[in-house]
Structure 1
Amino acid sequence: MYERKTPDHLECGIKVTAKVIGSKWKPCIIDAITRGVHRPGALQREVGLTSRRVIQLQLKELEMHGIVEKQVFPVLPQKVEYHLTPLGQSILDVLNAMNTWGEANRERYSGELEPAS
């Protein structure tokens, strides 16, 4: 995994939140987990438009930040599921607010998220 050479300056809450969930796919992954999608392959199909590797990297970062926990079942073939931690549950209000704003302003933006004239 990429490691920054310069330190993060996390002097405000917005920067902390952006560091933890600020990517193209992390909010969508968290949303899918809250809707009962727990297996990596199912998460990749649910989120769509991205590779399994990207989903795995995003899950690894979410796990590193304590948002999700990985559960490995002792079966062959190996079965893995991801679940939100209590810390992950606490971020749902932020994601719900993002969703509410997005739904209220959906018509303003085209498919490419360019402001409508």
Structure 2
Amino acid sequence: MVTTRKLREVPSDHYNVFAKECPARMVLDRIGDKWALLILDHLKSGKTRFNELKRSVGGISQKVLSGVLKTLERDGLIYREVYPTVPVTVEYSLTPLGETLTEAISAVTHWAELHMKEILSAREAYDLKV
């Protein structure tokens, strides 16, 4: 098994996302996940609490949201800040690394909104042919 430490030792010019064994594919899996995209896109507007994220990202369960937040934190894309209040207050925000993704993520998420009519028309045309 390849450890995180060993992956860090590989020169960055040796990563090739088209290669089957490339660890960068793990990152693509993460940011290619619809929930991760929506969470990261939402966090570009600033610090957000868990329940606010849950309300904003329609359809996500508490369990899935918690899991995605943990993996995004592990990947260094978001911060989790805990405040010693009763009950405990937790806020999430983008790290500088996470902020480097916001333009690309926003482009992808909002591209889908802008082109939904064409996609639905293409699906309809395809289904009529099949």
Measured against the shorter chain, the TM-score band is 0.7 to 0.9
Aligned pair partner of 1:115 in 101, 115, 123: 123
Higher helix share: 2
Structure 1 residues 84 and 64, CA gap change in structure 2 (3 angstroms): same
Kept in 2, the 8 Å contact 1:33–1:83? The answer is yes
Q: Alpha carbon RMSD of aligned pairs, Å?
A: 2.4
Cα distance in 1, alignment partners of residues 72 and 83 from structure 2: 20
Tell whether 2:87 aligns with 1:51: no
- Residues 32-74 of structure 1: CA deviation (Å, up to 9, x unaligned): 1123461111101100112111100000000000000000001
What is the CA distance between 1:100 and its match in structure 2?
Answer: 4.6
Identity of aligned residues (%): 31
> What are the within-5 Å matches in structure 2 for residues 16-95 of structure 1?
17-36=27-46, 38-95=48-105
TM-score (norm 2): 0.70
Structure 1 residues 114 and 59, CA gap change in structure 2 (3 angstroms): farther
What is the CA distance between 1:114 and its match in structure 2?
Answer: 7.2
> What is the match of residue 17 of structure 2?
12
- Provide the secondary structure at the position in 2 that maps to 1:62: helix
Aligned residues: 106
Higher-Rg structure is 2
Instruction: For structure 1, list consecutive stretches of 5 or more residues without a partner in the other structure.
Output: 1-9
Mean CA deviation greater in 87-96 or 64-73: 87-96
Cα distance in 1, alignment partners of residues 124 and 45 from structure 2: 31
Amino acid at match of 1:90: T
TM-score (norm 1): 0.77
Cα distance in 1, alignment partners of residues 87 and 113 from structure 2: 40
Q: Which is bigger in relative contact order (C-alpha 8 A, separation at least 6)?
A: 2
